[in-house]
Amino acid sequence: MKPRKIIKLPARSVEMLINDLSLLIVSMDHIGSAYYDDPKLQALEMDKYFSQVCAFKRLAQARAILTKAYNSQSSKADVLRSEQSAESLPYWNPPKQKKEEHGLQ
């Protein structure tokens, strides 16, 4: 078994990652608890809140920090394996009906 590799990050980057992930996770929990009995309103509040705090931007920055650190401190083979692993993730796709409505295949 290959020994585990340690990837180093600046403390400030780790702090930012922890804060951003905490913000999103705790807020999701609070919204879920507040609207547990109304899934439609819960979804609307999640969407509104995530837009308000720029969740997409925060998550994209977190991924960029981790990817940069991993790629710069790993072998080409490990980076390729990581990329191949990411390709098999269950990414969201629009329902077939929605694709057809927009002329997509």
Cβ atoms < 10 Å from Cβ of 59: 14
**pLDDT, tens only, 14-68:** 999 999 999 999 999 999 999 999 999 999 999 999 999 999 999 999 999 999 9
Cα 84 from Cα 78, distance rounded (Å): 10
The model's confidence at residue 5, banded by pLDDT at 50, 70 and 90, is confident
**Considering the entire predicted model, what is its pTM?**
0.80
pLDDT score of 103: 66
Task: Find out whether 13 and 7 touch, Cβ atoms under 8 Å.
Answer: no
| Residue range 61-95, pLDDT digits in tens | 999 999 999 999 999 999 999 999 999 999 998 88
Q: DSSP code of 61?
A: H
CA-wise closest residue to 16 among 58, 71, 70, 60? 58
**Residue 53 and residue 61 in contact, taking contact as beta carbons nearer than 8 Å:** no
Report angle CA 25, 95, 98 to the nearest 5 degrees.
115
